[in-house]
Amino acid sequence: MSPAARPPLRLGEEVAEARAARRPLVALESTIIAHGLPRPRNLAVARELEKIVRDHGAVPATVAVLDGSCVVGLGDAELERVAEDLSLRKLGRRDLALAVAQGASGATTVSATASLAALAGIRVFATGGLGGVHRGFAEHLDESADLDALSRTTITVVSAGVKSILDVPGTLQRLETLNVAVVGYGTRDFPGFYLTRSGEHIDWTVETPAQVAAIMRQQDALGLGGALVVANPVGEAEQLDPVVHDQVLASALDEADRQKITGAKITPFLLAEMVRATRGASLEANLAAVRSNVRLGAEIARAYHA
């Protein structure tokens, strides 16, 4: 491979040392830091999530693209930059080559984080909620790039299901079509991001990190590409009140329709409306889910490397 074709991947010092020592690693996305949380809380949460990974016996690898370099394992100064730089783009998998070629900087979404983590040899990625099929798909043909990226990437993604503002049944159908395996962690009810249950059923369930690791090893042995989605529900005590959730979401969807908001703008609009209308309760449910997923991700990474 020529130098020009070599992947522009840079491992953080802690991640490089962990890889050399064959220690468990957990990838973390940076979009939640740059675009998903209010400042200055976003930096505190980023550091908190990395600490949760370390406290549970693994090494965090927060991913971003900085000045055209794909960084897997941000240092603290880089973490601060992602949290404070308002000019950072939001980068999906499709944007990576463009960002690298133009020396751009951006926070990575699920699709980009999963792709770069797999390129770095990381098998576990913890996030909040996945993107998916949008409501009104038949009219707008709007679907998150997360789904296609997961079908192409061998990685285990721990999430609280897909964002409840989306078409959850449609998303599960697409995951099946794309051969992305989904397993419920301690549940047969697919979680709904802010909600413990979405009302959709899961065919397969596991009860321990070791059982997840066993599935991962069989994926390796069978040579089956594609992601394994571990659906880890937010605790009932920490979920958003389901009645409030449904009322606020219905109102937000009506407002989006009135303003003719579609495409890439619809998800951030709906999420912002949820935070505003619930006076921050949806954000707290989101963070509770992310913390739980990061904790479980570290435990799965440890079990896989055992």
| Catalytic residue IDs | 29, 163
Locus of tokens 């090494």? 59
How far apart are alpha carbons 154 and 135 in whole angstroms? 28
Integer distance in angstroms from the first to the last C-alpha of the chain?
A: 33
Neighbours of 21 (CB within 10 A): 8
Cβ-proximal residues to 10 (8 Å cutoff; 6+ apart), any chain: 69, 70, 71, 72
Q: Given the DSSP bridges, would you call strands 228-231 and 156-159 parallel, antiparallel or unpaired?
A: parallel
- The two tokens of residue 198 are 């979405």
Pairing assessment for the beta strands 181-185 and 69-72 based on DSSP bridges: unpaired
